[in-house]
Amino acid sequence: MPEKFDTVIVGGGIGGTALGALLAAGGQKLFLSEKNSIIGGRCASYQKDGFTIDVGVHLFGLTDKGPLGEVCRRAGEPDAIEWVLARNPRVAVHRGGQTRPFTREMMTSELEEKSVSRLAEIFAKMGQMTTDELNPLWYVPLKNWIEGFTSDRNIMRMFTMLCGIYLCLTPDVASTAEFVLSLRELLQARNSGYPKGGSGVIPLTYQRIIEKHGGTVRLSCPTERIVIEDGRAKGIVVGGKVIEADRVVSNADIKATVLELAGAEHFPREYVERVQNLTYAAHVFALKVALDEMITDQKMIMYTPDLTEEELEEIERQILEGQAPPGAGGMICVPTNFDPALAPPGKQLIFFGIGTSPHQEWEPWEKICLDALKEVFPSIEEHILWKVAHSPDDIEHFAGEEGNVIGVGQTIDQVHERRPTHETPVKNLYLCSAEAGGHGIGTELAASSALELADKLLSAS
């Protein structure tokens, strides 16, 4: 008789490994298959010439106070991940040739007195809104809500930057309630940071918890298909063999799950059409630069070119049309200033991530990123040991989901009650990722999805 599991999980991203840790610690017999040779999906890390390189460009908003830490607490290991907070110095902004701390004073320095009061009113409202006040705003674009307070372009530019960094969306499509809740949590927690050992430490920790509780994790083990019989998921096929289970949870891309791994023929037509029409968060081109010495003590910098509103709109238009516009802004993260052990002694690692669209020529984007880094760090070029570029196409090949940053975008038609749920029309087939259920930013959205689904599955077992 073939071995049978309580649950099999397809994919070892944050959602899959977090759910696996929770279920295994809850006593379930678990099997997780991951197609790549390293665990973690877009939150994985790998080694190059003594440096630890993240697949993505990450800063974690809530760290141990949010869903990523809650997974460890519920699995009985609250201190399993060591976090370094984004302090001393704090997060900074580079604009107009200057790098300045991201403070209230900095945010208001370019605003007229009337606009400063409007900005204070916006933040006060975000902090005070009740659930009843927030509920109607799930399906209202953030841009529309901000315009109810002010028409000041500098204020809108600020929220465009914040919305892009946190939700990887523009304010004209992002959900006001999702943005407000996420930003409010960040401001209340004041706990943004980065894990010692690199981003990949998070899924590796979850993998260790799975295996500690007797679960099985197989790397370099792509799932060939999900077995469905009589409208019910029965297991998965890996290496030509069926792994049987009472339930199957997919941490893979929702479109790949429904249209390829399971097969559209097993789902109602309306469900398939809904999945096909889902849209994703933004894509990012990332440049990772290894340096022969330290050139900055900053941990994270938001790079915003000194441009007019019209110039910024033109850049956004060019990006959407697949062009490479000089002067685009982005996020700079310096992992080795959180954890010097991520590089050989005395050396430094700097990441730059910039919003883009997929499937294009990437060489111009590398130049845009390098030019931006040279503006922020004028001496950087003479210290470069090597550069690695990660394009959306690279991410798509490695982690799927069309190479985007997060997953299904938290737009007004894809949040709250309009978001894909964990349950699918196929009995015992579930979804767990930043594309089904959950709330929050990036990896925390995926961990939130895992916590929600774990509650459902463990209470039912």
Cα angle 79, 199, 429 (rounded to 5 degrees) comes to 85
Low-confidence ranges of the chain (pLDDT < 70): 1-2, 110, 308-309, 320, 401, 403, 461
- Whole-number average pLDDT of the chain: 92
Residue 223's pLDDT is what? 97
Separation in Å, CA 291 to CA 141, 334, 351, 383: 41, 11, 11, 5
Segments in 294-361 forming alpha helices (H): 309-320
Q: How far apart are CA 265 and CA 297, in angstroms?
A: 55
Note the pLDDT of residue 2. Answer: 64
Q: What's the pLDDT at 113?
A: 80
Q: What is the pLDDT of residue 403?
A: 62
Could you read off the pLDDT of 378-425 as tens digits, one per residue? 999 999 999 999 998 988 888 776 767 889 999 999 999 999 999 999
Angstrom distance (rounded) from CA 66 to CA 60:
9
Rounded CA-CA distance 242/190 in Å is 47
DSSP 159-227: HHHHHHHHTSS-TTTBBHHHHHHHHHHHHHH---EEETT-TTHHHHHHHHHHHHTT-EEESS----EEE
E strands, 401-458, are 429-431
How crowded is the C-beta side of 445, counted as CA atoms within 13 Å? 27
Tell me the torsion sign for CA atoms 7, 12, 16, 22.
positive
| Both structure tokens of 255 | 């479109």
For residue 182, give every residue at least 6 positions away whose Cβ sits within 8 Å of its Cβ, in sequence order, or none: 61, 166, 167, 439, 440, 441
Strands 300-303 vs 283-291: parallel, antiparallel or unpaired: unpaired
